[in-house]
Amino acid sequence: MSSFYPPRRTLMGPGPSDVHPRVSAAMARDTIGHLDPEFIRLMDEVKGLLQYAFQTKNPMTFPVSAPGSAGMECCFVNLVEAGDKVIVAQNGVFGGRMKENVERCGATPVMVEDAWGAPIDANKVEEALKANPDAKILAFVQAETSTGAESDTETLVRLAHDHDCLAIVDTVTALGGTPIKVDEWGIDAIYAGTQKCLSCVPGLSPISFNERALEVVRNRKTKVQSWFLDITLLTTYWGGEGKRAYHHTAPINTIYALHEALVLLQEEGLENAWARHRRNHNALRDGFEAMGLNFVVEEPHRLPQLNAVSVPEGIDEAAVRSKLLQDYNLEIGAGLGAMAGKIWRIGLMGYASNPKNVFLCLSAMDSVLTNMGAPITSGVAVARAKESYANADQVPVSA
Ligand SMILES: Cc1ncc(COP(=O)(O)O)c(C=O)c1O
């Protein structure tokens, strides 16, 4: 055995995405203790920076020491008790995971299903809320990574509140790439991931609970079934102002990484980050459409950070991905579940959302598809993307 040196890839799949070099450098700094006064100072800064990213003043805003799935589980195990009814709006893979969580809490999911690739239909959600006045929570995914569709969180949260429900919102792929306004929209419990639009490594799940959600936790009849994710116990470590007691050994260096990623986000500014994701998406879209490739999601509901594109007739989608990886060190994603084999998922997330990657992806796809005999218009995509940047309101941001 010898040391492991990973290949240098460009990560344009559904996440993880390219890590910013400042984030990698921060991660390599000396490990200190999880109760060291300097680390505690850092934790307070991370909380403040996350409040900015989520646009909230919620004191209970911090990263769970595990990936996005743990943030999801943290929301469900704390807020859902056996016997509860939870409305889950599903339009892709991750809504299905919410259903699993509800069931594992001993509660009843009421499913509101939408087609994969479509956003969640607020009318259907309203009907379900009316038909289930005993429902306690509405849960949904803002940015469905399996399809690239974005749902209207503001409207869905308002509907939940109109029917006396809390709202749990998955923003794993949304945070940093597309607007999220926790306080303005009244989101009660939210979770995200670090490996998508934050330019950070995987392994943490930022969460935020508002007072209404914490009140529900305080009034539970039963203990939270997960010791590790019990938010009341986690408060001893992450809550309060500077007072910290041991709960678990935090992944110290990963928190350095998140801190640096959030500093980068603050330096750029949230609105600028959202605009950058949109600008790079527009250029990629114009290039792909000039080639003759079709997007899965209708324009107004498309996530700029996750581009789902249909595989042309007769093309082996896995062979294209292998070729891109082998010849260009470029990773793009496959379809999941019902969309496996039919689409590619191309991420433009965080540090990876930049013009250099847009041009690389367009020229590599053009070349690979042309060599495979795909029915595309060759040689026009890069020029069209350049035009898109030239016509954009602002000069392209080079990450
Ligand atoms: C929308 C959504 N929710 C939850 C998750 C789970 O996150 P993780 O893989 O970090 O556990 C993902 C991961 O891609 C996701 O895209």
Cβ(95) – ligand 1 distance below 6 Å: no
Give the whole-angstrom CA distance, residue 343 versus residue 312: 9
**142 within ligand 1 shell (Cβ under 6 A):** no
**299 secondary structure, DSSP code:** G
Instruction: Using the predicted structure, report yes or no on whether residue 128 has a pLDDT greater than 80.
Output: yes
Tens digits of per-residue pLDDT, 241-257?
667 899 999 999 999 99
The residue-averaged pLDDT of 220-233 equals 97
Give the atom of ligand 1 at the shortest distance from the alpha carbon of 171: 1
Percentage of residues of the chain with pLDDT beyond 70? 98
User: Considering the entire predicted model, what is its pTM?
Assistant: 0.97
The three-state secondary structure class of 260 is helix
pLDDT of 395 strictly over 80: no
- Pairing relation of β-strands 166-170 and 189-191? parallel
Tell me the CA–centroid distance for residue 348 and ligand 1, in Å: 16
Asked whether residue 365 carries a pLDDT value surpassing 70, the answer given is yes
| 173 within ligand 1 shell (Cβ under 6 A) | yes
Q: What are the DSSP calls for 199-235, one per residue?
A: ---SS-EEEEE-HHHHHHHHT-SS--S-STT-HHHHH
Residue-level pLDDT at 101: 98
* The pLDDT of residue 355: 98
What pLDDT was estimated at residue 133?
A: 98
For residues 27-51, average pLDDT: 97
For residue 396, pLDDT over 60 is answered with no
Q: Would you say the CB of residue 179 lies under 6 angstroms from ligand 1?
A: no
pLDDT of residue 394: 54
Residue 160, ligand 1, Cβ within 6 A: no
Distances (CA, A) of 162 to 65, 129, 133: 33, 9, 11
Q: In this structure, what token pair is assigned to residue 143?
A: 């940015």
pLDDT for 45: 97
Structure tokens at 388: 């898109």
pLDDT in tens, 338-364: 899 999 999 999 999 999 999 999 999
Asked if residue 12 has pLDDT above 80, the reply is: yes
Instruction: Determine the average pLDDT of the residues in 133-140.
Output: 98
pLDDT at 322: 98
DSSP 173: T
Instruction: Report the DSSP pairing between strands 330-334 and 108-113.
Output: unpaired
pLDDT at 69: 98
Task: Select from 91, 145, 201, 207 the residue to mutate for testing ligand 1; criterion: most ligand atoms less than 8 Å from CB.
Answer: 145
Between β-strands 85-90 and 343-347, what pairing exists: parallel, antiparallel or unpaired? unpaired
pLDDT at position 240, please?
A: 73
pLDDT at residue 399, rounded to an integer = 39
- Residue 338 has what pLDDT? 85
Arithmetic mean of pLDDT over the chain: 96
Beta strand 108-113 with 10-12 is: unpaired
**67-115 pLDDT tens trace:** 999 999 999 999 999 999 999 999 999 999 999 999 999 999 999 999 9
Q: For residue range 307-324, what is the model confidence (pLDDT) as tens digits?
A: 999 999 999 999 999 999
Q: Specify the pLDDT at position 126.
A: 98
Q: Are 311 and 295 in contact (CB under 8 A)?
A: no
The span from the CA of 100 to the CA of 139, in Å, is 12
Protein residue with least CA distance to atom 7, ligand 1: 68
Does 72 sit in the ligand 1 pocket, CB within 6 Å?
yes
| pLDDT at residue number 221 | 97
Query: Mean of the pLDDT values across residues 40-65?
Result: 97
Which residues have a Cβ under 8 Å from the Cβ of 75 and sit 6 or more positions away? 139, 168, 189, 190, 191, 207, 209
pLDDT at 397 over 60: no
| Per-residue confidence (pLDDT) for residue 393, from 0 to 100 | 64
Q: What is the mean pLDDT of residues 234-243?
A: 83
- The reply to whether ligand 1 has any atom less than 6 angstroms from the CB of 381 is no
Instruction: Check if 69 has its Cβ closer than 6 Å to any atom of ligand 1.
Output: yes
What's the pLDDT tens digit per position in 262-297? 999 999 999 999 999 999 999 999 999 999 999 999
Percent of the chain residues past pLDDT 90, beyond the cut: 96
Helix (H, G, I), strand (E, B), or coil: what is residue 370?
A: helix
DSSP, res 29 = S
73: nearest Cα among 92, 98, 110, 96: 98
Helices (H), the chain: 21-27, 37-54, 68-79, 93-104, 122-131, 153-162, 182-185, 211-218, 231-238, 252-268, 270-291, 317-328, 355-371, 381-391
Which residue's CA lies nearest to atom 15 of ligand 1?
172
Quote the ligand 1 centre to 313 CA distance (angstroms): 29
Taking a C-beta distance cutoff of 8 angstroms, is the pair 177, 305 a contact? yes
Contact indicator for 94, 144 with CB cutoff of 8 Å: yes
Ligand 1 pocket member 191 (CB < 6 A): no
